[in-house]
Amino acid sequence: ALSDLRRTIDAMVNHVYLGRSGLKISDIVYGNWLTHGSQVDQDTASACVRAALDAGITTFDTADVYANGKAEKVLGKALRGERRESLEILTKVYFPTGRAGHNDSGLSRKHIMESIDASLKRLRTDYVDVYQAHRFDVETPIEETMQAFADVVRQGKALYIGVSEWTAEQLRFAHDHAKELGFQVISNQPQYSMLYRVIEGEVVPTSSELGISQIVFSPVAQGALTGKYLPGQQPPEGSRATDAKGGANMIKRWMDDDVLARVQELRPVARELDLTMAQLAVGWVLQNANVAAAIIGASRPEQVAENVKASGLTIPEDAMARIDEALGDA
């Protein structure tokens, strides 16, 4: 099932080539949405980054919009002193960061050129490894966007270009325009988990054909797939579901008693494989041959140490079938 991904194995985590490029990233990526600059303080954020590095994670995902630029700043600080060549840093452009003036969002040349400089400054680095279009911009001509990305790459401010939550049709546009301009779109970053399988329909087959890898987000459905939320009970204190700064609102869609009850049915499957529920959920997304990496979030270092163990996991066919049965159309 791993046919269209080229993997290399090191001691702790697998490294995977992105798309048809020569860039390798860790198959577990640490991302800082809702946590850095918001739910947790700098010390906890730095401890999570430390736990990631210690476990062999080399790839970090953020976005300019996360906590209005603070998430990039916190990550930049946490990575200070690390050898830049050993890291892959990914960020994104599209949403307004702080001010929302008429040119402060989208994928215009103006917004891209201004945003990359602001991100580099906050991240304290001269370049990002992958610069990602956070969403598709229906207003700006794709030619303008792709030319701006080509120029960002030519200037050395980003080494590679990716996108996030683009449809199969949009990925094809991007691929074709990039090719004309002499670069590649190497990755797409969509939501994917046992509870949210939309990309399996069109995005994955089209991406496989075009040589675009998925770097998927919310693999444990923001915590819902860890089994810690029980139907009919109050969420544990300190969890995302109790985070009034934004997390609670984001995870709401999974805080449904029927969904949470079905998730509990995965407990014996995880136990028989000697995995935690979180590891089963992260390992599950990696079974898809077009998924290069899972971006895990964490509000504490122990979660990173636990979830990273899903790197390189193979889940047997019968367990995969039992998962489908338990979750069905949840």
Tell me which residues touch ligand NDP (CB under 6 A).
31-33, 35, 61, 134, 164-165, 189, 217-223, 226, 228, 239-240, 278, 295-299, 303, 306-307
Buried (b) or exposed (e) across 24-56, using 16+ Cβ within 10 A? bbbbbbbbbbbbbbbbbeeebbbbbbebbbebb
Neighbours of 193 (CB within 10 A): 22
Closest C-alpha to 13, from 262, 328, 305: 305
User: What amino acid is encoded at 278 in this protein?
Assistant: A
Shortest Cβ distance from residue 79 to ligand NDP (Å)? 15
- Number of helices (H) and strands (E) in the chain: give both, helices first: 12, 11
66 belongs to the catalytic site: yes
DSSP letters for 272-321 = HTT--HHHHHHHHHTTSTTEEEEEE--SSHHHHHHHGGGTT----HHHHH
Residue whose CB is less far from ligand NDP, 179 or 245: 245
Shortest Cβ distance from residue 224 to ligand NDP (Å)? 8
Shortest Cβ distance from residue 285 to ligand NDP (Å)? 10
CA-CA distances (angstroms) from residue 108 to 75, 134, 175? 26, 13, 18
Residue whose CB is less far from ligand NDP, 155 or 242: 242
Residue whose CB is less far from ligand NDP, 186 or 317: 186
d(CA 309, CA 317): 20
Residue whose CB is less far from ligand NDP, 146 or 194: 194
* Tokens read off for 201: 């329909």
Residue whose CB is less far from ligand NDP, 129 or 306: 306
Shortest Cβ distance from residue 56 to ligand NDP (Å)? 17
Going by their DSSP bridges, the two strands 14-17 and 24-26 should be labelled as antiparallel
User: Is residue 64 a contact partner of residue 96, using CB atoms and an 8 Å limit?
Assistant: no
Select which of 66, 94, 131, 160 is catalytic. 66
Which residues are marked as active site?
A: 66
